[in-house]
Amino acid sequence: MLPTKKTALVYSELFMWHDTQRFNMLTEPGLSVQPGKHVENEETKRRMRNLIAVSQLEDSLVHLKPGPANRDALLRFHSAAHVDRIEALCLTGGGIAGNKTPVGRASFDIAMLAVGGVLDAIDGVVSGEFDNAYVLCRPPGHHADRETAHGFCLFANGVLGVLHAQQVHGIRRIAVVDWDVHHGNGAETAFYDNADVLTVSLHQDNLFPTDRGKVEEIGNDGGVGANLNIPLPPGSGSGAYRAAFEELVLPKLEAFQPEMILVASGFDAAAMDPLGHMMLSSSDYRYMTRRLMDVADRHSGGRIVMTHEGGYSEGYVPYCGLAVMEAMSGQDSGLQDPFESHILMYGGQAITAHQKDLIQQVKGHHSDLAELV
């Protein structure tokens, strides 16, 4: 029996109203591409929320309605020109804010609300109002840079959360763990030379953004060693991810001893996702959550905040999200994953030789892990 936690779910229906317009997956429609839904639409997030609502987990959660961030909070990382540009584009009715990143008229206000949700979650965890929190928001944030909307992301939700925790609450040592299938370039860029923020990204090798997230990119100047990239080969499943966690992520966190952990929670490394080529099941997300909670209990007073990022399988994201929420709260939802037995039968779920080689390669670039080779 796991210890129960007081877990907050930060959610607003307005998150679902962020308009990513008519695309075909990732491509603007034209005479050769039939119009369809942009892959980052509301359905996966709404279905996750609805699955929680019909489960036994619903009543055990703290339900937090977020308030919007103010402009000063955004300016801790983003330039005024970037904020102004996004606001002006939305006021004119929307358009393309960045690479594959369309917005609608209300998207600026909704993005401010998404940032505000992360800040509210951090405030509540630090104050002890609840033990941990999951921010089920959109637009996502882990690809946004200081001057650029990128990869569906307008503002760097998680980066802004880290800076809020440091500058408002005086929490110095913060770890960012990004398990989205795409590289966590936003946090890496923001904190690349900062020894007080450990950035960890488990991602599919060279998927998005291309040429980011390489093994040898370990930080710069005073931050050398505080950036851990784990670019797993396509087709990695439970065996590879769990080995990477046990041999790389957890030892790195133990050495760092964070005062808070922020997770960029994308579910696109799950099997059946249209934008990734990995094979995780909901049990793998439950496992990663529990292992991070163990670290948080030892070093961070249990303080974990998760902010929702990618994940594009309408059928499967809800079960991965539910597994994470069960682990965070120590509760049983009463619902079973109807897809898991099928996914666990996929060939290649056990770790392979080339996946082991990648893990050893990562160790070789980090002095605090090299002795574990």
63 is catalytic: no
Task: Tell me which residue of 207, 200, 151, 154 sits closest to 182, measured CA to CA.
Answer: 207
Q: Are strands 94-99 and 101-104 parallel, antiparallel or unpaired?
A: antiparallel
Three state DSSP letters for the chain: CCCCCCEEEECCHHHHHCCCCEEEECECCECCECCEEECCCCHHHHHHHHHHHHCCCHHHCEEECCCCCCHHHHCCCCCHHHHHHHHHHHHCCEEEEEECEEEECCHHHHHHHHHHHHHHHHHHHHHCCCCEEEECCCCCCCCCCCCCEECCECCCHHHHHHHHHHHHHCCCCEEEEECCCCCCHHHHHHHCCCCCEEEEEEEECCCCCCCCCCCCCCCCHHHCCCEEEEEECCCCCHHHHHHHHHHHHHHHHHHHCCCEEEEEECCCCECCCCCCCCCECHHHHHHHHHHHHHHHHHHCCCCEEEEECCCCCCCCHHHHHHHHHHHHHCCCCCCCCCCHHHHHCCCCCCCCHHHHHHHHHHHHCCHHHHCCC
Asked whether the CA dihedral 300, 305, 98, 215 is positive or negative, the reply is positive
**List 18, 38, 143, 150, catalytic entry:** 143
Q: Give catalytic residues, as residue numbers.
A: 143
